[in-house]
Amino acid sequence: MSTPPADPHLPAVHPRPPRNWINDPNGLVFHDGHYHVFFQYNPYAPQHANVHWGHFRSRDLITWEPLPVALAPTPGGDDADGCYSGNAISTDGRLLAFYSANRTGRWWQPVTTAESYDGGHTWAKRPELLIPQPPAGTTMYRDPYVWRQDGRWRMLVGSALADGRGAALLYESDDLENWEYRGPFHASSPADTADPAGWECPQYATFGDRGVLIVSDWTPQGGPSHVTVHTGHEEHGRFATAAPPVRLDHGPDFYAPALLKAPEEDRWLLWGWAWEARDDSWAHEAGWAGVLTLPRELTLADDGTVAQRPARELLALRGERVLHRTGHVTRSRPVELGEVGRTFDLTAVLTPDPTGTGGLRLVTSADGTEYLDIDLDPTAGRLTVDRSRASLDARARAGTYTVPCPVAPIPGTPVELRVIVDRSIVEIYLSTGQVLTLRFYPVGDGPWRLQAHTAGTGGSDFTVEAWDLNPVGIRQEPLLASQQQDA
């Protein structure tokens, strides 16, 4: 297999194949001592077409092993135009995947299944569709999510209702074969639906008798938009929410996350898809598009807030500590903190300057004209990420994005951040649980360096530490069934 050309934007610690297209994480399941991560994958081109299920597995969430492509469209079959998203369960010594069978021209993607008795190396598809038709009154239908609860199997399917609401439809089964439709588990409220919406990729986590429903908001006009999280509890087969939905990730490039129930009690892991934020022509030249986020732990606090943190295992990716600085910065003079590599993990404790915004700048060109800004805005109570100057190449998307930072306005209270940068993706985690994921494409001549700065008159205290991350990226393309026979 030929080695791909060095690409400064290809992530090193975020698993993805070295080339071609990926989108949603799928089929996340712990089975046979491994975390299995499948994903929407076009093995032939860096564009969304001919979608297969690629497959990685890991024992420790650190080292990933590419496995053969799990599901491929069957020519002439119900999934001839794509094995679309779904999940998987581990039951009776087998992996059972539920997925959306795509045919061009059919507006719904029926639910179908495939099973594997050898840990996901080989798969047998069920000959018939499992749920061939959507219920009446729907205008979009795909992405099954199956889980076990209270002695029964349950399934959510993403949908849009004819009245313009997005919905997660509920099915139940005793035997995984016969599924009874129970109606919408939850739907967007009419107030949210000035524009018709659909919900893709519903995911459901339980914490005792409380639940967290995650949906990917999609519109017929604009396609994928953003991800919302609904918290509440179940009442007679319906999800009763305790508060209005909020965004799961505040960045512009995060979509279709999926949950994995870890073997430990109440431990939920989550991966999302971070799409490209550059012109298609550039992704085409690079030969790849899309990346999965790092695994995150999802928790539900007593007050009903959902928090995300990088999975604790990721600390093991840290190599050399390249930077450790404590100090004070004033408006007149930014502080040079030192150089970092292109893949690093950073922690920062910043005491906001109440008189103005301030924070960190990642400078990626020697002359300082290319940079990404991460700033606290204490007056507005938020963290701002500005990528307007993060690439000297006009084919990269610009823009400023914000994430609520509840402690920023409290005078003298330090804000703790964790920032994981991997060549063209940054994941910013606040210690209070909010996250922002964003893509950026530096082309400057580097080296990369960090600065602390402030626009306020009061000055700001900081402590910043950064570690190089050891590359563990997947450097091999998953084999297709035809290649396995040749191998």
Q: HEC string of the chain?
A: CCCCCCCCCCCCCCCCCCCEEEEEEEEEEEECCEEEEEEEEECCCCCCCCCEEEEEEECCCCCCEEEEEEECCCCCCCCCCCEEEEEEEEECCEEEEEEEECCCCCCECCEEEEEECCCCCCCEECCCCCECCCCCCEEEEEEEEEEEECCEEEEEEEEEECCCCEEEEEEEECCCCCCEEEEEEEECCHHHCCCCCEEEEEEEEEECCEEEEEEEEEECCCEEEEEEEEEEEEECCEEEECCCCEECCCCCCEEEEEEEECCCCCCEEEEEEECCCECHHHHHHHCEECEECCCEEEEECCCCCEEEEECHHHHHHEEEEEEEEEEEEECCECEEEEECCCEEEEEEEEECCCCCCEEEEEECCCCCCCEEEEEEECCCCEEEEECCCCCCCCCECCCEEEEECCCCCCCCCCEEEEEEEECCEEEEEECCCCEEEEECCCCCCCCCEEEEEECCCCCEEEEEEEEEECCCCCCCCCCCHHHHHHC
Whether 24 is catalytic: yes
Return the number of the residue (275 or 467) whose C-beta is nearest ligand FRU. 275
Q: CB of 200: closest distance to ligand FRU in angstroms?
A: 4
Catalytic residue of the set 7, 24, 175, 279: 24
- Among positions 35, 37, 72, 85, the unique one binding ligand FRU when judged by CB under 6 A: 85
Name the minimum Å distance from CB 124 to ligand FRU: 21
* Least spacing, CB of residue 463 vs ligand FRU, in Å: 39
Q: Does 81 bind ligand FRU (CB under 6 A)?
A: no
Closest to ligand FRU by CB, 217 vs 345, is 217
Cβ proximity to ligand FRU, 224 vs 341, nearer residue: 224
Peptide bond into 447 cis (omega under 30): yes
**Distance between CA 392 and CA 234 in Å, rounded?**
50
- Residue 81 or 375: the one with the smaller Cβ distance to ligand FRU is 81
Q: What is the maximum alpha-carbon separation in the chain?
A: 70
Tell which one of 42, 100, 391, 437 touches ligand FRU (CB under 6 A). Answer: 100
Based on the shown chain and the rule CB under 6 A, indicate whether residue 84 belongs to the binding site for ligand FRU: yes
Which is closer to ligand FRU, CB of 16 or CB of 361?
A: 16
What the block records as the tokens of 211 is 């639940």
CB of 199 to ligand FRU, least distance (A): 9
Gap between the Cα atoms of 2 and 287, Å rounded:
14
With binding defined as CB under 6 A, does residue 40 bind ligand FRU?
yes
Q: Which of residues 291 and 419 has its CB atom nearest to ligand FRU in the complex?
A: 291
Residues in region 113-152 near ligand FRU by CB under 6 A: 142-143
Q: Shortest distance, CB of residue 170 to ligand FRU, whole angstroms?
A: 18
Range 378-417, binding ligand FRU (CB under 6 A): none
Beta-ladder partners of 280? none
Site for ligand FRU in 213-232 (CB under 6 A): 224
Closer residue to ligand FRU in complex, CB, 224/295: 224
What's the residue count for the chain? 487
Q: How far is the CB of 359 from ligand FRU (least distance, A)?
A: 32
Number of residues that bind ligand FRU (CB under 6 A): 14
Residue number with CB closer to ligand FRU (255 or 401): 255
- Minimum distance between the CB of residue 247 and ligand FRU, rounded to whole angstroms? 17
The token pair at 1 is 């297999």
Residue from the set 201, 274, 289, 306 that interacts with ligand FRU by CB under 6 A: 201
What would the two tokens of residue 289 be? 């598009």
Alpha-carbon distance of 77 to 296, in angstroms, equals 36
Q: How far apart are CA 106 and CA 430, in angstroms?
A: 42
Q: Which of residues 176-195 bind ligand FRU (CB under 6 A)?
A: none
Pattern 45-64, ligand FRU, x by CB under 6 A: ------x-------------
Q: How far is the CB of 322 from ligand FRU (least distance, A)?
A: 36
Position 158, amino acid: G
For ligand FRU, the closer CB: 200 or 477:
200
Q: How far is the CB of 384 from ligand FRU (least distance, A)?
A: 27
Applying CB under 6 A, the residues found at the interface with ligand FRU are 23-24, 40, 51, 84-85, 100, 142-143, 200-201, 224, 255-256
Q: Which residues are catalytic?
A: 24
